[in-house]
Amino acid sequence: MPDADLVSWNTMIGALVQDSMFMEAIELFRKMQNQGVEPDRVTLMELASACGYLGAVELAKWIYLYIQKKDDIQCDLRLGTALIDMFARCGDPHGAMQVFSHMAQRDVSAWTAAIGAMAMEGNGKQAIELFNEMLHQGIKPDAVVFVNLLTALSHGGLVEEGWEFFGSMDDSFGIKPKVVHYGCMVDLLGRAGLLAEALNLIKHMPMEPNVVIWSSLLAACRMHKNVDVAKYAAEKIAQLDPERPGIHVLLSTIYASAGQWNDVAKVRLQMKEQGVQKGPGSSSVQIDGEVYEFTSGAETRPEMDRIEPMLLEMNCRLREAGYSPDLTNVLLDVDEPEKEYLLSRHSEKLAIAFSLINTGQGMPVRVVKNLRICSDCHTFAKSVSKVYNREIIIRDNNRFHFFRHGSCSCKDYW
């Protein structure tokens, strides 16, 4: 497209972003650069969305540096807020706060994005400090900022503070909690193991609980291995959305962890009869500007010739350091060697191994995953961070996990 002007490039890049074709959008941007066309504010807004989804932190940093160098691109409220969200979704809360601190003006959307960055990191206390500072600056909160605040408190395990701010919505600010706010509270209580309290809150909601509410409770049952409440939550979800695949998988995991293989088989049979397909787990990493995506169980990628021996080495070293695979994460009733093999092919393990091969010693490993990380891969990543002295950053479909020196920022609370 040699004769395309900047407007044409922006239109095509924007269309790809709107269609969630984020990798293709970045590839088209590279072609635009190769033809000597410089991006403008519109280009960078679209790229920020793509970077945030893909977790492309290096490109995110380039975008911010480029804006700082260009006098004709003003980092106004809208662009600044987009950059905060971009860095937060890339697992760089420090970058997000750097943008926030340099903004000349901040509206409630900017404060919401900054609090959201703390939510992604699981830093509930910092989120509270930001919220209080926002009030001090005379900014009136809205319903959206409370979603991010309650999410941060949930990820940080701050139950008492969660109840306090949830109650203040109506009492202090005249904001009636919506179903999404109740969902945050159910998530908070469930993560803390207060399943009875969470269930009681659901039953006394002023509106009908939706699938997301019941799914949060079911996820908590997985974490705390409560089969009875899990069955109840799954029944409610089945009534609302019987074809929701993630629910079957979660329930299977709970049954498997309890050794109830007959129930696992029943759930899998139901999935087959209803035509419900479980989407494969996938993880992506960015190496030298290129994004590589791995699928759980993948054997055909050309990189596997190098990944295979790396995985063998890693498993040997990690076992010597005390790591033991959590076989309850395998939902098939097969023998232990087969379970260990299936676990070794989880997408984030492939991505981590590939990153260790292709990045220098001491460089952080960044992985973006489409599903919630399982307990075995979580333990695996903690061990890798300690044995290989690497920071491992994994963004799953729920939050960020920062693994350093054998521990995770979520404090095993996700």
Give the span between the Cα atoms of 218 and 233, in whole angstroms.
6
Specify the pLDDT at position 2: 52
Contacts of 91 (CB under 8 A, 6+ apart): 55, 57, 120, 366, 393, 395, 400, 402
Kindly state whether residue 380 falls inside one of the protein's structural domains: yes
- pTM, two decimals, is 0.82
DSSP 375-404: HHHHHHHHHHHHHTT--EEEE-SS-EEEEE
pLDDT digits (tens, 9 = 90+) for 361-412: 989 999 999 888 988 999 999 999 999 999 999 998 878 899 999 999 887 8
Kindly state whether residue 139 falls inside one of the protein's structural domains: no
351 conformational bin, left if phi > 0, alpha if psi -120 to 50, beta if neither: alpha
Instruction: Please name the helix (run of DSSP H) or strand (run of DSSP E) that holds residue 129, with its range, or none.
Output: helix 124-136
Kindly state whether residue 111 falls inside one of the protein's structural domains: no
User: Number of folded domains in the chain?
Assistant: 2
Residue 276: alpha-carbon gap to chain centroid: 24
Kindly state whether residue 374 falls inside one of the protein's structural domains: yes
DSSP lists the bridge partners of residue 239 as: none
Give the span between the Cα atoms of 240 and 234, in whole angstroms.
10
Residues in the chain, pLDDT under 50: none
Q: Which long-range contacts (CB under 8 A, 24 or more apart) does 244-251 make?
A: 244/211, 244/215, 244/276, 245/271, 245/276, 245/277, 245/278, 245/279, 246/215, 247/215, 247/218, 248/276, 248/278, 249/278, 249/331, 250/215, 250/218, 250/219, 250/221, 250/222, 251/218
Specify the pLDDT at position 194: 97
Give the span between the Cα atoms of 255 and 238, in whole angstroms.
17
Domain final residue, candidates 57, 74, 105? 105
Specify the pLDDT at position 288: 84
Specify the pLDDT at position 121: 84
Give the span between the Cα atoms of 280 and 289, in whole angstroms.
25
Kindly state whether residue 157 falls inside one of the protein's structural domains: no
Kindly state whether residue 349 falls inside one of the protein's structural domains: yes
DSSP 142-207: -HHHHHHHHHHHHHHT-HHHHHHHHHHHHHHH-----HHHHHHHHHHHHHTT-HHHHHHHHHT-SS
Q: Nearest-CA neighbor of 175 among 208, 193, 149?
A: 149
Domain final residue, candidates 90, 105, 120? 105
What CATH number has the domain bearing residue 86?
1.25.40.10
Give the span between the Cα atoms of 42 and 6, in whole angstroms.
10
Domain that holds residue 82: 1-105
- DSSP class of residue 120 equals H
For strands 407-408 and 400-404, give the pairing: antiparallel
Instruction: Please name the helix (run of DSSP H) or strand (run of DSSP E) that holds residue 295, with its range, or none.
Output: strand 290-295
Contacts of 33 (CB under 8 A, 6+ apart): 39
- DSSP class of residue 329 equals G
Domain final residue, candidates 85, 105, 125? 105
Specify the pLDDT at position 277: 65
What sign does the CA torsion over 375, 378, 380, 386 have?
negative
Q: Which structure tokens are listed for 13?
A: 């890049």
Kindly state whether residue 275 falls inside one of the protein's structural domains: no
Give the span between the Cα atoms of 376 and 368, in whole angstroms.
17
Kindly state whether residue 133 falls inside one of the protein's structural domains: no
Q: Nearest-CA neighbor of 306 among 353, 368, 352, 349?
A: 353
Residue 272: alpha-carbon gap to chain centroid: 28
